[in-house]
Structure 1
Amino acid sequence: MKTSLETIELFLAHTTNPDVIASIVDPKATYISLNFNNPELKKILPWTGTHHQGAKGFIDTFAGVNELWSILGFEVQDLFSEDEKVAVFGSFTYVLKTLDKQVTSPFSLLAKVKDEKVYHFMFMEDTFATSGTYILTPAGTFHNDPNETEFSL
């Protein structure tokens, strides 16, 4: 019997293999990709949000990522597990296929596994950086510090 950690390692080794994903994801699994529900970000990264579709949410997300970006690297730096919970930290480097823009982002994920099936999965990354690879015109004007003036990106 695989441990929770071994199940997530198997998942990470086969994110583009729908048969493996389907075999280790519970049919009622929840997948939270980047945020709970952000319609603005969903326009840029269509797979974001909370998915209650079991393996389909995982498969669609990783297929979408692979369709838009070339993956130059995906490195796990730390894995921790306690009972059914697994936390993973690392970084990835992608190149957007349409604009040839490269981005490196840290990532973290929290997964919960029971009986060798993932039933909860939350993946986080630097969405400002990854969605920034799509930018064709200036990103906008910002004003965050009440003691400073606005600035543009």
Structure 2
Amino acid sequence: MSEQQQAIDKALKTKAPKDVVLAFLYNTDKSRVAIASEKLVAEDAIYTSLNFNNPELKQIEPWAGTSTGRDVYIYTFSNVGTYWTIDDFQITDILAEDETVAVFGQFTYTSVHAKRTFTSPFSIKAIVKDGLITYFQFMEDTYASAASFRVSGEWTIQQNADPKLNFTVSELRLINGKVIKIG
């Protein structure tokens, strides 16, 4: 029996919130997330990814925002493995108090088409009732994840009333030993 299946079996037996969340996280690859969701996620579970509602970000990362239903978990985690190659995923801390579980760690992903690699911290807040995840909020460095799909363009940033303090964010590349602005 695989470690992934052992984690699910333990979670089903103990119904402990920490065990349920860990089992789900150990089974989020495309080949197993449907199985894990069926056994560990409530049918009407809420999933909040990166923000509550940002239409522009949803165009870049379609799972962003708040959605309801077990299928959202399957859709989201399946797409993570479609949009990026998962180079590393590490849980560094997990805390549980009653029904609430907090998970912290970091991951490194490479976008499949743009070939951009980034490393991000992540945090998760999950609520587990009667052995099922009923709420799951995933936070990461959203700027880095969205930028991993960037192939061109620049932004002019204004953080101050003085427009002289505006600055441009664009891509810089080292080409033949020289820093070249790509935009």
- Do they fold alike, i.e. is TM over 0.5? yes
* Alignment partner, residue 2 of structure 1: 15
Confirm or deny that 1:34 pairs with 2:41: no
Residue 93 of structure 2 aligns with which residue? 78
Name the CA distance, whole Å, in 2 between partners of 1:101 and 1:28.
35
Instruction: In structure 2, give the amino acid aligned to 1:81.
Output: A
Can you list the C-alpha shifts for 1:65-120, whole angstroms capped at 9, x where unaligned? 10010000011111000010000011110000101110101100000001110001
- Is residue 66 from structure 1 mapped to residue 81 from structure 2 by the alignment? yes
Partners of 1:36 and 1:140 in 2: CA distance:
24
**How far apart, in 1, do the equivalents of 2:49 and 2:16 lie?**
24
Unmatched tracts of structure 2, length 5 or more: 1-13, 170-183
Letter in 1 for 2:151: L
Q: Distance in 2 between matches of 1:15 and 1:136?
A: 28
Q: Which runs of 5+ in 1 are unaligned?
A: none
Please say if residues 8 and 111 of structure 1, whose CA atoms lie closer than 8 Å, have aligned partners that are also in contact. yes
Q: Displacement of 1:139 after TM fit?
A: 3.2
Identity %: 39
Where do residues 1-153 of structure 1 align in structure 2 (5 Å cutoff)?
1-16=14-29, 17=32, 18-53=34-69, 55-146=70-161, 149-153=165-169
CA RMSD across the alignment: 1.1
Q: Distance in 2 between matches of 1:121 and 1:93?
A: 21
Q: Distance in 1 between matches of 2:168 and 2:38?
A: 44
For residues 94 and 56 of structure 1, the distance between their equivalents in structure 2, rounded to whole angstroms, comes to: 23
TM-score using structure 1 length: 0.95
Equivalenced residues, count:
152
Moved more, 132-141 or 36-45: 132-141
Distance in 1 between residues matched to 2:120 and 2:22, nearest whole Å: 20
Asked if the contact 1:138/1:152 (under 8 Å) is kept, the reply is no
Q: Which residue is 2:181 aligned to? A: none
TM-score normalised over the length of structure 2? 0.80
In structure 2, distance between residues paired with 1:79 and 1:19? 23
